Structures are given as C-alpha cells and as structure tokens.
Amino acid sequence: MAYVICAPCIGAKELACVDVCPVDCIQGGPDQQQMYIDPATCTDCGACEPACPVSAIFIAAEVPAKWHAFIEKNAQFFR
C-alpha cells in the first residue's frame, strides 16, 4: 500500500506535500505535469494527504475509480 497523487495535481504542483514528506518520496521533474509518490519508499504516514490544497492525494485503496490509472502512473515514474 502507498499513497497516490491523482489528477488534481496536474497543473497545480503546489509542492506542499513535498515539504511534509519525512522520507522524500514525492518527486517529479520540471518537465512533469504533476508530482508522483514512490510506492516502494512511501511509509503510509499520511502526512501529505491533508497538506495538499487541491486534495489530490489518496491512499491507494481509496483512490476514486475515475483515477485508478494514477496508481500505476505514480509507480511507473520511478521505474
């Protein structure tokens, strides 16, 4: 299980989540439309979820159906 960044981050990239993540697993370069969470490093601490001003972050089990593709999209960024 890990937290996942979904569609509301696209174009927003406010980076508030990056500042609160204790293991530095939220990444995304300047050429990326959004930020991503590394599922292999995320400790499920939950700190990022309330920090996001656009509510883009969900624990994997609670990602809305319309955004399920983002679970793979986050993981893929780190391969």
Residues of this chain that bind ligand SF4 (CB under 6 A): 3, 5, 9, 12-17, 20-21, 23, 25-26, 35, 37, 42-48, 51-52, 54, 56-57
What is the phi/psi pair of residue 65, to 5°? -50, -40
Q: Which is nearer to ligand SF4, 24 or 79 (CB)?
A: 24
Minimum distance from residue 68 beta carbon to ligand SF4 (Å): 17
Minimum distance from residue 60 beta carbon to ligand SF4 (Å): 10
How many whole angstroms separate alpha carbon 76 and alpha carbon 79? 5
10 Å CB burial of residue 48 (0-12, 13-18, 19+) is: buried
